[in-house]
Amino acid sequence: MLIQTLQKLLNRDLIRLKNEIISYKNPHNIWLIDHEIFNSAGNLTLHLIGNLNTYIGAEFGKSNYTRDRPLEFSLKNIPQEELVSMIEETIIVVNNSLNKIQNEDLIKEYPILVFDQPCTCEFVLVHLSTHLSYHLGQINYHRRLMDH
């Protein structure tokens, strides 16, 4: 049950992420930073893509994804269409990977130390959903501030 719920929430928010990126009237603005806004919507999008592909795709889906976290925050000016394509690919990876998880897997210890102490797979998956939602809100706000 939790797996299906997370799948619905992750799909919903990844589609919202895609729509946010598409909604920028000026694609250049995706990469703007200003004053106290240190991360552009583009870099937050790359960060979310890297996060989900690492902790869901590589771990549960065995996708062989290799993360380069510093690049998520240093790459700039990736075209809007390419970001959208990357989000669409991430949706597929997340769905395929979550389909491989059994309910009994949720109580197992997540194989990578993500936080200060070991956590269950369930905890990490719920965290990933809330992490996506958190940054999605930042991206929405970024778009409304920078793309007016």
pLDDT single digits (tens) 31-65: 999 888 889 999 999 999 999 999 999 999 999 99
How many domains does the chain contain in total?
Answer: 1
- Distance CA(77)–CA(83), nearest Å, equals 10
Structural domain including 23 reads 2-146
Structural tokens at position 90:
């991430």
End-to-end CA distance of the chain: 41
pLDDT value of position 37: 85
pLDDT over 90 at 148, yes or no = no
pLDDT over 90 at 134, yes or no = yes
Torsion of CA 23, 72, 133, 34, to 10 degrees: -60
Phi and psi, residue 138, nearest 5°: -65, -40
pLDDT value of position 1: 87
Q: Tell me, what CATH number does 64's domain have?
A: 1.20.120.450
